[in-house]
Amino acid sequence: MTPDSLRVALRGILANRMRSTLTMLGILIGTAAVILLVAVGAGISNQVQGQIGKLGTNAVYVLNEKNAGGQDRGGTNARQIKLTRADVKALSDPGRAPSVKIVSPITSTAGTVTWGGTTYSLGSFIGAEPVFGEIRNIRVQKGRWFNDGDQAGRAKVAAIGLTVVDHIFGKGVNPVGQTIQFNQVPFQIVGVLDRRGSNGLQDQDDVIFAPMSTVIDNVVGPIDSFTAIGVQAVSQNRITAAVTEINTTLRQTHNIRAGDPPDFKVFNAADLLAAGKATARSFRTLLAIVAGITLLIGGIGVMNIMLVTVTERTREIGIRKSLGAFTSDIMLQFLAEAVLLAGLGGVLGSVTGVLLGQLRIAAVQPIVSPGTVGLSFGVSVLIGVFFGAYPASRAAALTPIEALRYE
Amino acid sequence: MEAVPGVGGDSPVLLLDDVHKIYNPGPLQVHVLKGVSMAVEQGDYVAIMGHSGSGKSTMLNILGCLDIPTAGRYLISGVDVSELDQNQLAEVRNRYLGFVYQSFNLVKRTSAQANVELPLVYAGVPKAERRRRALTALGLVGLGERTHHMPNELSGGQQQRVAIARAIVTGPSVVLGDEPTGNLDPTSTAEVLQIFGQLNAAGRTVVLITHETEVADHAKRVVVLTDGRISSDVRNAPVQGEPPNLIDLTGAEPREAEEAIA
């Protein structure tokens, strides 16, 4: 494509500004729709993944059946249902559960936090081992997560969620180094956690984490019953194996006979994630199809206008041929015009799509990927070639005398 | 006179040999040309006359390689055009023939200069050279001042002069005119005829069709077409030399400018 043919094409487009603008608008909307809808799809997918991913992608949780199902097993109280240190130990044994990488007991307590004159009724005060940070995929925004030294030294340190920070210290205040009281026990804040948002049931930032040893010593007392056990599988594709091993191991430690229902529940974040991802993927495909159809309609608009243009300029085609234009010259001229029309629409559509992609749409933050922008611009140019080819070849096939006689 | 490229020594520059043209073959066929034979030598100035429907436009279209004969042969400098493909015909139109139409046929929304450059674009001439030759051709037809005007900003006579500049910019050996003065007032007609006369005096072969005897009076040879056949063929002046009634309106020196183009 030479600068000459592009200049001629541009002149053709400018000759009918209104018509060219409307045609470009078709491509513009199509391209923007592709970018935006794919971005919304990616945003939804990301949101689902983010929500579930916050549980830790390789994480498996063991809960009391009572906690999980919300009901007692009924009938007998003969056996106490609990998750014990023995369970944690059994799960940590590579001989019994080789697919398990890390295990941490978890206790959860409710209570009141005070600092200075402020009192706050906390959602959950969680005691866990330092490795729990890894299981739950915890990110620290300021300061640090507690470590093995804190656990060994029974240090009264805590990592604190943003909701708690906002209520006690106020928004934007850095509380690291301050000492708060939880149920009259002082804890020094060593870290502030990243915002996780709501998991749909509870605010995941309304939380304080402290080392398990400290919590047992100072908050819950010397118990041998945990709220839950957090487990991390060796890898993502060993999660299913880990779940099986946990079930087998705990049935043994809890002395459950074959055929009896278990008194615990194994809860797998990866399964939820997979289901959520699959839903998001179908949704994304649907959006992409809708967007693709929009772009196709834009392409038909280009073809329609190019056919009109060729008819209108039949005489010009005759003149050019009589002056020695080759069939290929004419073909190229109209093809250049169609491609330019679609390409300009594609550029404007890409810009529009990227700009709109910065907005939150229906509580979803779209994620614009450079790949989609490149692809949809490329497709709009290809649409120019594809839908311009027929009108252009029709123009080129005219004999000079037919074209010159056309009124 | 310098040699015009592509023209052989002995064979006539244009040769129609028993040419027939039939439109809509079948029961509704129209037999427009019924066996036309004519040889045009290099340097001649031929006016083809005839009533409407006599076939003179069809004949000129065939001479201009815009249309092809149904039967018979048409040779340009000894080459049978029926043996040429689409692109070769386009090249012949581009290099050896210049066409001037009654309705000017300038490309709309395209400046005079760009219109004149068009044949050079298709000939693959570089931009700077195109510009130089287009300006020379426009100067030759007396439009050196209006090169950036759009066709709709020019009078009929000016548009036709742009069209002539476009027809001669590639230095063709033959210039064809399809009633080139048909849409012009007497003053513009005189200007256009002057340019045609000067082109012929400089060695170009000119063939034009007209139904006005005042126009035909400027030709060296007058061919009359009646109902698809040549009914009269009269020579008024020798092939070589100046055409009759050559008018000098401006005192310009066309030959020098003409040579600058070629």
pLDDT digits (tens, 9 = 90+) for A222-239: 878 888 899 998 887 888
Ordered by start, the domain boundaries in chain B are: 42-67+91-261
The C-alpha atoms of residue A107 and residue A71 are separated, in whole angstroms, by 19
Of A208, A216, A169, A203, the closest CA to residue A190 belongs to A208
Chain B contact for A322, CB < 8 A?
yes
Q: What pLDDT, on the 0 to 100 scale, is given for residue A199?
A: 58
Q: Helical H runs in A313-356? A: 314-322, 327-356
Q: What are B43-93's pLDDT values in tens digits? A: 999 999 999 889 999 999 999 999 999 999 999 999 999 999 989 999 999
* pLDDT > 90: percent of chain A: 17
DSSP symbol at A217: I
Phi, psi of A317 (to 5 degrees): -60, -45
Quickly tell me which residue has 């009929």 as its tokens: B156
Average of per-residue pLDDT across A55-71? 66
Strand ordering across the sheet containing B30-40: B30-40, B14-23, B71-76, B79-80
Give ∠ CA B134-B138-B140 in degrees, rounded to 5: 115
pLDDT attached to residue B95: 93
DSSP 8-state assignment for residue A83? B
DSSP string, A362-390: TTB-----HHHHHHHHHHHHHHHHHHHHH
Q: Examine the pLDDT at B177 and tell me if it is beyond 90.
A: yes
The answer to whether A345 and A25 have CB atoms below 8 angstroms apart is: yes
Check if A78 contacts B (Cβ < 8 Å).
no
Least confident of A133-147, A186-200, B199-213: A186-200
**Which distant-in-sequence residues (6+ apart) come within 8 Å of A332 by Cβ?**
A1, A5, A392
CA distance A390 to B218: 47
Phi, psi (rounded to 5 degrees) for A190: -105, -15
Q: What is the phi/psi pair of residue A229, to 5°?
A: -125, 130
Taking contacts as CB-CB distances below 8 angstroms, the residues of chain A near B61 are 401
Cβ distance A263 to A253 under 8 Å? Answer: no
B251 CA: distance to closest CA in chain A (Å): 30
The CATH number corresponding to B42-67+91-261 among 3.20.10.10, 3.90.1580.10, 3.40.50.300, 2.60.40.10 equals 3.40.50.300
- Give the range among A132-146, A314-328, A333-347, A361-375 with minimum mean pLDDT: A361-375
Asked if A211 and A133 count as a contact pair (C-beta separation under 8 A), the reply is: no
- What's residue A75's pLDDT? 43
What are the DSSP E strand ranges found in chain B? 14-23, 30-40, 45-49, 71-76, 79-80, 97-101, 174-178, 205-210, 221-226, 229-235
What tokens appear for A168 in the block?
């006690």
Mean pLDDT in chain A? 84
CA dihedral A330, A332, A336, A342 (to 10 degrees): 100
Using a CB-CB distance cutoff of 8 angstroms, which residues of chain B are in contact with residue A319? Answer: 105-107
Least confident interval from A94-103, A265-274, B44-53, B90-99: A265-274
pLDDT bucket at A74, cuts 50 / 70 / 90: very low
Alpha-carbon B129 to chain mean position = 23
Out of B106, B108, B119, name the one closest to residue A324 (CB): B119
**Per-residue pLDDT reduced to its tens digit, B11-38:** 899 999 999 999 988 888 999 999 999 9
CA B70 to chain centre: 22
Q: Where are the beta strands (DSSP E) in B114-228?
A: 174-178, 205-210, 221-226
pLDDT band for position A67 (cuts 50, 70, 90): very low
User: What are the chain A neighbours of B64 within 8 Å (beta carbons)?
Assistant: 322
CA distance B123 to chain A (A): 8
Tell me if chain B has a CB within 8 Å of the CB of A11.
yes
pLDDT reading at A16 higher than 60: yes
CA distance B217 to A80: 127
Domain boundaries, chain A: 3-45+285-405, 82-262
Our separate counts of H helices and E strands in chain A read 14, 10
* A58 token code pair: 């390789």
pLDDT above 50 for A71: no
d(CA A98, CA B221): 109
**Kind of pairing, strands A228-233 and B174-178?**
unpaired
Q: Which residues contact B257 (CB under 8 A, 6 or more apart)?
A: B136, B139, B140
Torsion of CA A314, A319, A320, A323, to 10 degrees: 160
Confidence band for B2, pLDDT divided at 50, 70 and 90:
very low
Chain B residue nearest residue A319, CA to CA: B105
Instruction: Return the pLDDT at A369.
Output: 85
Average pLDDT for A147-165: 91
SS3 A302: helix
Contacts of A4 in chain B (CB under 8 A): 121
pLDDT of residue A270: 66
- The SS3 assignment for A285 reads helix
Decide if A326 and B121 are in contact by the 8 Å CB cutoff. Answer: no
A13 to chain B: closest CA residue:
B109
Q: What is the pLDDT of residue A64?
A: 78
Between A339 and A67, the more confident residue is A339
Report whether A181 contacts A113 (CB < 8 A).
Answer: yes
User: What's the rounded mean pLDDT across residues A138-143?
Assistant: 88
Q: What is the pLDDT of residue A78?
A: 39
Name the residue among A15, A321, A404 with its Cβ closest to that of B90.
A321
* The Cα angle at residue A297 between residues A37 and A371, in degrees rounded to 5: 40
What are the b/e assignments for A256-279, b being 16+ CB within 10 Å?
beeeeeebbbbbbbbeebeebeee
For residue A351, is pLDDT > 80? Answer: yes
**A79 pLDDT above the threshold of 80:** no
CB A171 within 8 Å of CB A139: no
User: pLDDT digits over A378-395, tens only?
Assistant: 888 898 888 888 888 888
Whether B197 shows a pLDDT value over 80: the answer reads: yes
Q: Is A320 on the interface with B (CB under 8 A)?
A: yes
In a 10 Å sphere around its CB, with 0-12 CB exposed, 13-18 middle and 19+ buried, how is residue A30 labelled?
buried
Question: What does the pLDDT average to over A34-50?
Answer: 83
Contact A324 B122 (CB under 8 A): yes
Q: Which residue has the higher pLDDT, A75 or A142?
A: A142
**A276, pLDDT greater than 80:** no
pLDDT score of B258: 52
Backbone phi and psi for residue A372, each to the nearest 5 degrees, phi listed first:
-65, -40
If you average pLDDT over each of A8-12, A134-138, A327-331, which comes out highest? Answer: A327-331
Highest mean pLDDT among A175-184, A214-223, A353-362: A175-184
A6 shares contact with chain B (CB less than 8 Å): no
> How many A×B Cβ pairs under 8 Å?
59
Q: Are A327 and B110 an interchain contact pair (Cβ–Cβ within 8 Å)?
A: no
Compare CB distances from B87 to A319, A326, A401 and report the shortest one's residue.
A326
Look at A349-353, B21-25, B252-256 and tell me which has the smallest mean pLDDT: B252-256
**Min Cα–Cα distance to chain A from B101, Å:** 10
